[in-house]
Each structure stands twice: as structure tokens, then as C-alpha cells.
Structure 1
């Protein structure tokens, strides 16, 4: 009964549990990290003098048809006329930088070039040394670069590019350290829910961050767009202070967590957190690289991560430009439309995660079945949305465009209960490392997307935008098929056996330590409880 009481008192969604506050802090940390990166998408439409490049695009579109002989051509003609008219109307975009589309694409990729470097080892460091300090340094790095961005952009394009790369160095630590924290703080049956909570920071960044950015852009004070970098840089510093005060690497060392909650976590995980922490003290974990390379579920996760990041990077970076150049929306409407996929993600992802955990807990679905169902809907649903964007959207179909963005947002939200839950489940002793590997592929997807866009969309015509939409769709179809065949959420045999051997190593070291400090006692005098508590 006492155990049942502890469990009831320590439900995740109660004000008494420190786990809830850690999850919310992680969510706000991810909000800061994401918004400091994606606000460049909205800033760019305010920073760059796009009229310097628009005339060439208009001429190309004029050459695409001489006679209007179909409804499709009529729509193209209407949109082209609106483009010409908008050149003469103040739409709210007052940029001064003469950066070509290819230069803009390079800036969007710069963050990910930096992230690829640090993400290689960030998860491993989090597993060994703890995630708190690493995550703190990452957000501080991003915040400082944000404060400096208006100055260095005015000095030199190259300097601004380097600054974005340095920001990316910090971003490479964010997701792996958060995953490591989740593995230490939350029982397995809470992880989909918790992952949905803290990854909601991505959606909040897209909703609030881009909406606020569009409003700041229109302010005349300091030129408008620099306020975006200053405002969100300040938020990052505020979060850093809160994280420093309230967070800890493990529940057992957190001064704000109740003894009741600590006891609950110890019982529910059967000492798993203690064993993982102890392994860092007694045994530097060797990495089974061969098993990792041959792990089918890992490769399914890698491709799923790549596909999701490829698509969302494209949306985050270029959706404001698409709304301005193709849908011909003024600045005040641009910010509202940019919010749509993030609003559509926020509620469904948390509902899907709770449903997924509930179905697994009740035994209706196995963890693997749940992950496959949600991930397939995520990939195939995304593909359907982008095919619709490629074939049926132009400046005369704004409502359809909004509906397709909603559908994309709902589909994308399934990833938390799909591949993201899988990657933190298949090898618990190596969660941080495997997340880093997965995030490397995500970073490659992030960096590849702007480069593919610059190749497929050299002139900014609607047909070229459609090519990019189709590329996103094809990649998601392939990823969905692979995950359906090879995806899993079960602990792999090699990871389970390795975890057991690490526990035995800890016990043997504990025995040796006891014997060396208390020579009058024999090894048989050391009880199991003493070994466990060491």
C-alpha cells in the first residue's frame, strides 16, 4: 500500500513532483534554442532588399506562357500580375542587405554546420558527466551570438555566417543533453509524454517566436529586425538563470525534489538511475560500435530523423519567403500563416503521446507497434501534405494552403510517439550517444535542405517551389517504408546484456572498495543493500 501511495502521490501531472518542473524547464530551454535559430527565417524577409532580385524572377515567369489557354495559366497570370503590383505597394518589408537567394540559403545552413561538429560527442559527454552544465553552456552560447547578430551582420556577411556557425556549436548539445536528462529523470512509461512536453518548445518557438518576430520587424525603433535578436537573446539568459537554480543531473541530487519522489523513482526504475550514474564512477563504458552499426532499428531512426528535419528545416527557413513571394502576403499576415504548422503540432503531439503511453501501459499495443503506427502516419501524412502543396497551391488558394499546413503539423506531431520514443528506448545505457548519432543525421537533413532548395529553386518561380515540395514528400515516403520494416522500441539484446555486465562491474568494484577500507570484514559480510547503495 505504501508503494501504491507513493505512486499516486508522484503522478507526473501534480504540483508536488519536481519531474514536471524539469520537463517544463526542458521545454522552455528547447523553446529558446529553437527560436534563436528559426527567427532568422522571419528576420531575413525584413533584412534583405528582395526587390533587387524580383525583376529577374518576374521576367522568367512571363516567358513561361504567352497565351492563356487554361485555368492553370489563368491562375499563373493572376499571381504574376499581383507580383508586379506588389512591387509598387508597401507590403511592410524594408530590407537593406543585398544578399542573393543562395547567400540566404547558406546562412540557414550555417547553424547546422556548427551543430554537426558538437553533436558527434555531446550525447556521450552528457552520459558521462551529466547534462545540466552542458545544456546551460549551449543556451548561453546561442544567446550571446543572438545579441551580437545585428552588429556582426552590419559589419560583414562572412562574419554573420561564422556567428551562425558558432551558434550551431551550442545547438549541437541541446537535444542529446535533454534526452540524457529524460533517461535519468523519468520512468519508461512517462517518456513519450515527457518527450511530447519538452519538445513542445519547438512548436512554441514557431507559434510565439515567429509571431513576435513579425511584430518586432514592423517597429521602426532600431530598424525593427535587430529587436528580434535582442529580445530572444534576453529570454535565453533568463532561462539560463532558472536552469542553474532548479535543475540537477539526477533526481537524487536535486534539493527541490521531495524524498517521497526520490524514493518513488528509485523503486519504479529498480535502481536504474543509480546504476547508470554509478557506472561513470567505477567503469568508463566501452561502446559496442559493431552492434550499433548493425542495429536495424537505429538505421530506421536515423532515416526518420533525417526526413523530419529535412522537411521542418525547409518550413522554418523558407516559409516566410514563400508567403511573401508566392502567396503574396503582407508582413502582418505572414507571421500569422507561419504559425499554422506549429499550432497544429502543439496539441496533437501531446494527445498522441498520452494515447501512446496509455495503449502501451494497458497492453493493447506493444511499444514497437505503437512506434510504428505513429511514425508511419507521421511520414506518410507529411508526404501527402507536401504533394498537395506541390500540385494544388498558388496565390489564389490560400485556404487550401492553410489546411495542408494544418495536416502537415498534425502528421509531424506523431514523430514524438514514433522515432523519438524509439531512440530513447532501444538502448538505455547509450541513450545520449544514440541520440547524438540520430541528431547527426538530423543535422545533415537540416543542412541539406537549404542546399537542395538553392539547387531546385534558383529563380523563385512557383514551379521550382513545387519541385522542392515533391522532394520533401519522396524523402518522407522512403523513411516511412524503412521504419515500417525495421523500426522498434524494444531494448536490444546487446544493450540489455551490456547493461547487466556494467552492473556486475559496479558490484565488483564496490566489493573491492569495501574490502580495502575495512580489512577486518570479509567479502561475504558485504550485503547486497550495501553494494547497491555504494
Structure 2
């Protein structure tokens, strides 16, 4: 028996259920739900905000839609869906701001009934309003990781969600005051939310032990899908029966939710186990030991201020670019599902928006389930030694992207009378893509735990290109909305997904990179450890050296281990 074994026995077998780290993950879960509800509420509310136009488009005859599958009994068109389709055909990028927003986003707003709004906004202006969020979001990604390192993720998340909530609360008044002001605050909303996910990644990298990263990270980010489902389920009711004209209630309700979350987060959130006030000491030791951190350091923020970020090393790392390419491919698939599938269902299959509304929440429910299932199984496979960490990440990416690619192509070959099969494939393709959270998403933490938030910010910035290009490519490839045109879209998306999975599998790593090993203050950690070991040796000299004395034997063994480590370090 050695001292090292005794130390490990004190910190191992820490149950996840009921732990502080799980509570932090749940807080992040609800935070993500709030963030996405504040992000996507406009995509529902705008249907109730604008006045409807009676004129048709090139795909209609006398106000009736011409579907490739002639199975629609009445062919009625909601003006909102027509606007969506025309914006896509005109190569507008506005809807890319709705990352992972919804399927059939106008369904819950009263089915196929026309809703008369109070604003006379053109289609082009509506596109600018919706796109304003995206352009603000693009500009602040890398800032999130930097701010989290400078001030701590807790305060960054608090300020960002608080600002987003206040913007939501004032949105109705600003929209009524002037549309330019409304566009400006939507861009500001995007800017404030751009810092959130890098900061949250930085937070989780300090809370999630390596063998629990899959489940804790997956649970945290799965809240986004709950936020989408909340908006879909409540917006229709609020639009018709809410106060202040109906649609403003959508902004007020989710803004209030955000303020409530900020209060809870301020009271019980923490940057790290070192700074949490009520965490049990054995859990704190378990987390910090698994991450290789010194529990005596008060806060990692003090460490991070002392060293510049190795930007050149980050941008020239093969492992980092493997993640970036996987990240881009995953976002391309998400944009295709969020923007393309609703139009495909309407253009080719002629599914009414009321029918789409019923199933619109199911893909997100499946996505939520697969994120958590994937994280659980990935962690179990690592813990039991079935797969290495790297092979778990590879397997998750191949399942997520390969499965989504195959099902997308299968959707394109479905016939006119196979609506149920299309819906099933749609649900499964969205759901199985959730395995990517056990792939590239947690891989940021594997290779650079101290810089995970900053590097994720770079990856998010680059993946925003998918939001710019995906709707443009879809509009260019589907001028007539025919089945053959949409099949090309699905093949292009499948190709990008497969290439992303293969490149990730070939070049990814699960080891902390050399530039990330040069910690912001590892020298301080070593000094503290040396002081600790010196005290142990001094105390050992005061102990009576009795024969067969276990305590003395342990102390002497620890001293010998420490001296051996010091010799290795000098070499």
C-alpha cells in the first residue's frame, strides 16, 4: 500500500447523482433553454407582428400552391411560409440566424389561418430583422473565452443572459418605436449571446472530470432543444391570447424566465470547484485530482491572467483543425435540417403546416434524448476500458454524421405516399446527430481544457460560415423546389457530413496538446506541491520509527516517490 493509493481511495467512486457538478450541469441546461428561447422567439412572433399580403408567387396559381405530390386538399398557404420560401430563393441569409431554431417554424401560430399583424414590413425588411441576430452573434464568439478567462465564466454568463433578457423585454416597445432600433437591438442580442457558449465551455472544462465529460456536457447543451420546444409550444397560445396585443407576450414571458435564471445562477453558480461555497470536500478533491489541478489555488482566473494565449500554436494544430472541420460539418447539417426540411416537406410532399406543427417538436425531443444517451454511453465505454477516449470521440462522430447523411438521402428518395416514413427519418436523422456532442464538442476539453472556451469561440466563428453558405446554396440548388433539386441538396449535405467525420477521425486527438500543457501557472502548482511534500518529510522526522509502523511506512514511501519524481523532472 502506498500513499498514492490511499489518496486515490479518498477521491474515487464519487457518485454523479446528487453531486454539485451535476447541479452545475442542470443550471447550464436551464440556461441553454433560456438562451435559445430568447434567440428563436422572434421567428414565431414575427408571424403575428406583420401584415399579410394577398399576392401569390411563382409557385402558386390563384392563391393555391402547386405541389409536386398532389395530395393537398385545399392548398392554402400561410403567408409566413411563403415569405420563408421566397427569402430562401432570393439567396437571403437571414434565416441562418435561427441556428437550430425549429421545424415548420410558423406552425404553432394558428395553423393555416392568416394572422393580421400591426407592422407593414416588406419581405426584405423581415429578412434584415431576422438576420440582425446572426451578424451580432458572429462578432463576439472569441470574446467569450477571453472574458471567461479574465473575469470568470460565472459573471460572463450572468451578464450575457441578463442583457439578453432585458433586450427581450424591451423588444416590443422598440419594434413599435422604429424598425431600425429594433434591428439594432436584435444585433445586440446576437452579440451578447455570442459570448455564452465559449464561456459555458470554459466553465464545464473546470467542472467535468474526463470520464464524465460526455454526460455533463451533453446534459448542459441539451437544454437548447428544450428551449426550442418551449417556444414552439407556447408561442401560438401567447400570440392569440396574450396581453398587449398578443405577440409582445412572447418576448415578455421568456425575458422574465431569463431574469429568474440569472437570480438562481448568481446565488448558487460558481466558476470552479475551488470557488464553490457548499461543495463537499471529497467531491472537490475528486474533480480537481481528475483534472490534475491544485485544490489550494483559490481561482483559476488568477492563473489565466499571467500568460498570453498561444494563438499561433492553436491555429497550426492539426487536432484543433480536425475539431473545426467537424464543427463546421455538424453546423451545416443542422442548418440544412432547420431551414431546408420544412421547405422540402412543403414543396415536394405538400404537407400542410398544421400537420408539420404536430411533429415539429419531435425532432428536438429526439435530439435531446440522443445527446444524453450518447454522452452516457461514451463515458461508460471509457470507464470500462472498452474504447480509448479518442476512439469514443471517433465513434460518436461517425455515428452522428454517417447516420444523419444516410437518412437525409433516404428522405430524398421517399415517395409521395410515404409521409410517415419521411417524418420518421426526419426525427431519427435529427436525433442521431446529437451524438456529435460526445464527439467534437467535448474534444475541445480533451485537447486544451484551460483554453476550451477560447478555442470553441474560434470554432463557432468559423462554423458561422455554414450559416452564411447553407441557405444560399439551398436557394441556388432549388429554384423550382422539385424533388430532384432537393435530392441534390441532401447529397451535398451528406458529402459534407461524411468528409467532416472522416477528417475528424483521421486527425483528431484526445491528448492535451503541448501548447496547452504549458499551463498559465504550472510553476506555482509545483511550488505548492514542493512545500506540501517538504512538510510531510519534516513531520516524518518527528514520528517514532517503530517497526511495522504503517503510518511511518506510508510517509517514507511518499517521500521516496516525491524524490523520484523530482529527479525525473530535472532530467
Relative to the length of structure 1, the TM-score reads: 0.82
**Correspondences of 1:378-457 after superposition (within 5 Å):** 378-392=400-414, 397-453=418-474, 455-456=476-477
**Residue 274 of structure 2 aligns to a residue in which SS?**
helix
Cα pair distance change 1:331/1:226, threshold 3 Å: farther
Question: CA 1:291–1:350 in 2, change beyond 3 Å: closer, same or farther?
Answer: same
Q: Aligned match of 1:346 in 321, 344, 368?
A: 368
Q: Higher helix fraction: Structure 1 or Structure 2?
A: 1
For each residue in 1:240-285, what CA deviation from the matched residue of structure 2 results, as whole angstroms up to 9, or x when unmatched?
A: 1100111111222222222332233333334257669457348622
- Secondary structure of the structure 2 residue equivalent to 1:425: helix
Tell me which of 9, 12, 16 is aligned to 2:16.
12
Do the aligned partners of residues 511 and 407 (structure 1) sit closer, same or farther apart at CA in structure 2, a change above 3 Å counting?
A: closer
> Which residue of 523, 542, 545 maps to 1:504?
523
In structure 2, the CA distance between the partners of 1:419 and 1:102, relative to structure 1 (3 Å rule), is farther
Cα distance, 1:111 vs structure 2: 1.8
Moved more, 134-143 or 93-102: 93-102
C-alpha separation in 2, matches of 1:164 and 1:459: 32
User: SS of the residue aligned with 2:307?
Assistant: coil
| Residue 118 (str. 1) matches residue 140 (str. 2) | yes
Following TM superposition, by how much is the alpha carbon of 1:344 offset from its aligned partner in structure 2, in angstroms? 0.9
Partner of 2:555: none
What is the match of residue 113 of structure 2? 92
Change (3 A) 1:242 1:335: farther
8 Å Cα contact 1:41-1:317 kept in structure 2: no
The offset of 1:330, in angstroms, is 5.9
Q: Is the 8 A contact 1:382 1:412 kept in 2?
A: yes
Q: Distance in 2 between matches of 1:90 and 1:352?
A: 35
> CA 1:385–1:223 in 2, change beyond 3 Å: closer, same or farther?
farther
Range with bigger deviation, 285-294 or 462-471: 462-471
Aligned to 2:277: 255
Structure 1 equivalent of residue 180 of structure 2? 158
- Provide the C-alpha distance between the structure 2 equivalents of 1:231 and 1:249, rounded to a whole number of angstroms: 28
Q: 1:466 to 1:115 in 2, by over 3 A?
A: same
Q: 1:27 matched to which residue of 2?
A: 29
SS in structure 1 of the partner of residue 386 of structure 2:
coil
- 1:339 Cα deviation from its structure 2 partner: 0.7
**Where does residue 512 of structure 2 map in the other structure?**
491
Change in Cα spacing, 1:282 to 1:270, as seen in structure 2 (3 Å) is: closer
Q: 1:173 to 1:380 in 2, by over 3 A?
A: same
Go from structure 1 to structure 2 and tell me whether the alpha carbon gap of 1:424 and 1:404 turns closer, same or farther (over 3 Å shift). same
Question: Which residue matches 1:69?
Answer: none
CA change 1:205–1:282 in 2 (3 A) is: closer
Residues 12-91 of structure 1 mapped to structure 2, 5 A cutoff: 12-14=16-18, 17-49=19-51, 51-52=53-54, 54-59=56-61, 75-79=68-72, 82-84=74-76, 91=112
Q: Distance in 1 between matches of 2:485 and 2:61?
A: 15
2:439 is paired with a residue whose SS is helix
Conserved 8 A contact 2:50-2:116: yes
Q: Hey, what's the Cα distance between the residues in 2 that align with 1:447 and 1:277?
A: 39
CA drift of 1:181 comes to 0.9
Runs of at least 5 residues in structure 1 that lack an aligned partner in the other structure: 65-72, 513-526, 529-534
Question: Are the equivalent residues in 2 in contact too, given 1:108–1:450 (CA < 8 A)?
Answer: no
Counterparts of 2:20 and 2:190, CA distance in 1: 30
| Mapping for residues 95-494 of structure 1, pairs under 5 Å | 95-96=116-117, 97=119, 99=121, 102-219=124-241, 221-271=243-293, 277=299, 280-281=302-303, 284-316=306-338, 333-392=355-414, 397-453=418-474, 455-456=476-477, 468-494=489-515
Structure 1 residue 305 displacement after superposition: 1.6
Q: Deviations over 1:25-66 (max 9, x none)?
A: 0111111111111233333444445654534331599999xx
The residue aligned with 1:532 is none
Residue 447 of structure 2 aligns to a residue whose secondary structure is coil
Q: What is the number of equivalent residue pairs in this alignment?
A: 497
Q: What does residue 551 of structure 2 align with? A: none
Which deviates more, 341-350 or 466-475? 466-475
SS of the residue corresponding to residue 271 of structure 2 reads coil
Give the structure-2-normalised TM-score: 0.77
Contact persistence 1:49–1:98 (CA under 8 A): yes
Q: Alignment RMSD, CA only? A: 3.6
1:116-162 superposed Cα distances (whole Å, 9 cap, x missing partner) = 21112210221232100100111112112212223333444433322
Pick closer, same or farther for the CA change 1:229–1:310 going to 2, 3 Å. Answer: farther
Note if contact 2:25-2:219 (Cα within 8 Å) is conserved in structure 1: yes
